Structures are given as C-alpha cells and as structure tokens.
C-alpha cells in the first residue's frame, strides 16, 4: 500500500495534466501507472528514483507526439504523390527518418537515466511491463472493455 501511495504522489502531475485531454486518456494513464506499480514492485527508494524519471519521459514523449502529429497532418493533406516534385518527396521521407531517429534518441536518453540510477533488472522489468501493458490494453479495447487495474 505504501508503494502505491508513493507511486501516486510521483505520478500525480502526469495524471493532472492529462485531464485536459479527456477522460479516456486520463483513465488509460491511471491504469498504466497502477499496472507498472504492480509489475515493478519497487521499494520506496526505487520509486523515488523511478517515478520522476518516468514522468519526465512521458512528458517529453507527449511533446514529441504532438510535434510529429502536426507534421503528419501536412503530409496527409497531400492528395497525390504524383503532384509533388522529387525533392518534396525526398524531404517527406527524410523528415520521417529524422522523426524516428529523434524518438529513438529520446528513448536512449531516458534508458541511460534509468541505468545510471537503478539496477538493470528493474529496468528490464519496466520494459517488459510496458510491452505487457500495450498488449493488455489493446486486448481490452478490442473486446469493447475499459481498462481495469489488477
């Protein structure tokens, strides 16, 4: 119970900021926090280290997604590739590569922050829990349900 309270206190800023984006996003983030808390089973000291790094990472990922989404909107507005010059097409493709590289760099930077501060086994649990969360969430929504913490 103590770990859940610590996790809640460290993740409160992310949950509060998500409220502006609707109930669904808030619900998913709350579910994800509960899911990670259960799967990681962090000590109080580990939680004090993990959750601020996680919150910063989530914030930066959200900012990156917004930027990428804006750039993709302009790409989606193009009705036909044939209407573009070769240079314009090349620029779109290169931009996509650059965006993916930036996302990878972001992930590597936060992996390094975790690695500097936590044992690798905890980090491994975190990456495994993230994948398990994605699968579980997709499964629940495909079946018409809403996420429920375990």
Q: What is the DSSP string of 65-123?
A: HHHHHHHHHHHHT---GGGS-HHHHHHHHHHHHHHHHHHHHHHHHHHHHHHHHS-HHHH
Tokens standing for residue 122: 């905890």
Contact partners, residue 130, CB within 8 Å, separation at least 6: 36
Cα atoms in the Cβ-side hemisphere of radius 13 Å centred on 11: 23
Mean pLDDT lowest among 6-20, 66-80, 96-110, 112-126? 6-20
On whether the CB atoms of residues 42 and 50 are closer than 8 A, the answer is: yes
pLDDT at 36: 95
- 22-42 pLDDT, tens per residue? 688 888 889 999 999 999 999
CB 50 within 8 A of CB 114: yes
pTM for the whole structure: 0.72
> Where do the DSSP E strands lie in 13-144?
none
Burial class of residue 7, CB neighbours in 10 A (0-12, 13-18, 19+): buried
**Residues 43-97: pLDDT tens digits?**
999 999 999 999 999 999 999 999 888 877 666 667 677 788 889 888 888 888 9
Closest-CA residue to 111 (of 98, 89, 127): 127
Chain center to CA of 73: 21
pLDDT at residue 150 in the model:
52
């Amino acid at each position: 119970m103590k770990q859940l309270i610590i996790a809640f206190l460290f993740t409160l800023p992310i949950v509060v900021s998500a409220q502006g984006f609707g109930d669904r996003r808030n619900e998913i983030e709350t579910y994800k926090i509960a899911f990670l808390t259960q799967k990681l089973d962090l000590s109080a000291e580990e939680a004090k280290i993990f959750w601020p790094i996680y919150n910063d990472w989530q914030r930066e990922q959200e900012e990156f997604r917004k930027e990428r989404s804006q750039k993709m909107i302009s790409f989606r507005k193009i009705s036909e590739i044939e209407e573009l010059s070769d240079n314009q097409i090349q620029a779109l493709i290169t931009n996509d590569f650059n965006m993916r590289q930036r996302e990878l760099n972001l992930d590597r930077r936060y992996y390094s922050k975790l690695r500097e501060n936590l044992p690798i086994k905890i980090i491994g649990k975190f990456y495994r829990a993230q994948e398990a969360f994605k699968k579980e969430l997709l499964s629940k929504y495909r079946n018409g349900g809403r996420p429920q913490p375990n």
